Amino acid sequence: MRRHWPHYLVEAAGPAAFLIISSATAVVFHHPDSAVARTLGPSEMVQRVGLALVIAALIMAMAYSPWGKRSGAHFNPAVTLGFWQLGHIRTADAVWYVAFQFAGALGAGFLMFNLLEPWFGYPAIHYNTTRPMEGDYGWLWALLAEIGISAVFMLVLLRALHSAQFKTWAGALSGLMLAVFIVFESPVSGMSLNPARSTGTAAAAQLAPGLWVYFVGPLLAMWAAAVLFGRYRARKALPERPPLYPDATA
C-alpha cells in the first residue's frame, strides 16, 4: 500500500470518471429537458449512439493517459481477476485494485445521484443503474448477455495485448467494443461488464434489481476467458506479456 497507492488511486479514478461522465451524458442524451435530446428526437437508438461515442472517447483517453498506462487501466474487478489468473498482477495488488475500484464507483455513484437527482429518475435514465430487461426471464437474458459481452471483451483485449501488431490498439479496441455494446446490448442488461460500476449506482439509488447478475456474469466470463486464453497461448506459443506490476508502465 505504501509503495503503490498512487496506482490504486488511478484504479479508483477510472470507475469514478466513467460514472461521472456516463451519468451526465445519460441526462444530456435522454432527458426531455435537454436541448440535445430534443434535437436528436425520440429515437432511443440515436440517443444510445450519442452516449456510446462519448463513452468510447472517455475509455480511450483513460487507457492512453500516462496514469492509465502505468496502472494498466483495469478499472474493473472482472478485468483484474482475469489478469490475476494469467499472472499479470500480484495477488496483493489485485486485492487493492478491486477495493479501490469499488471505492471509486461508490463515491461517484453517490456524488452524481445527489447532483443530478432532479433528472436522474427519468425512466430512460433510471439513475444510471444497470437492470435486466423486463419479463419473466429478463434476468436470464441479462445474465447471458453479460457473460457474452464480458467474454468477448476479455478475449479481444488479451489477444491484442499479446500481439506486437495490435498491442498499441488495445485501448482503442476497448472503447470501440463498449460503444458497440452500449448501442446494441444495453437494452438487454444495461451493459455493465463491471460489478463495481453497477454497485456504485445501485447503492446510491438504493435500487439493485438483479445486481447479482452483474457480479456473476462479468466475473465468471472474464475469469473463464483468461483460463481459455492461457491454454490457447500455451498451444500457439504466443509471446508472454510481461507481468503487470504498478512499478512499471503497462
- 184-236 pLDDT, tens digit per residue, is 999 999 999 999 999 999 999 999 889 999 999 999 999 999 999 998 887 87
Q: Are 176 and 56 in contact (CB under 8 A)?
A: yes
Burial level of 236, CB count in 10 A (0-12/13-18/19+)?
Answer: exposed
Q: Which domain holds residue 175?
A: 4-124+131-236
Query: At 164, which CATH number?
Result: 1.20.1080.10
Q: Which of 182, 100, 98 is nearest to 174 (CA)?
A: 182
In a domain, 48, yes or no: yes
- ∠ CA 199-54-61, nearest 5°, is 85
- pLDDT score of 186: 95
In a domain, 163, yes or no: yes
pTM more than 0.75: yes
In a domain, 200, yes or no: yes
In a domain, 242, yes or no: no
In a domain, 249, yes or no: no
Q: What is the pLDDT of residues 75-100, one digit of tens each?
A: 999 999 999 999 999 999 999 999 99
In a domain, 144, yes or no: yes
In a domain, 98, yes or no: yes
Evaluate if residue 151 carries a pLDDT over 60.
Answer: yes
Neighbouring CB atoms inside 10 A of 74's CB total 27
Q: How many domains does the chain have?
A: 1
Q: What is the pLDDT of residues 161-195, one digit of tens each?
A: 888 888 889 989 999 999 999 999 999 999 999 99
- pLDDT score of 247: 47
In a domain, 241, yes or no: no
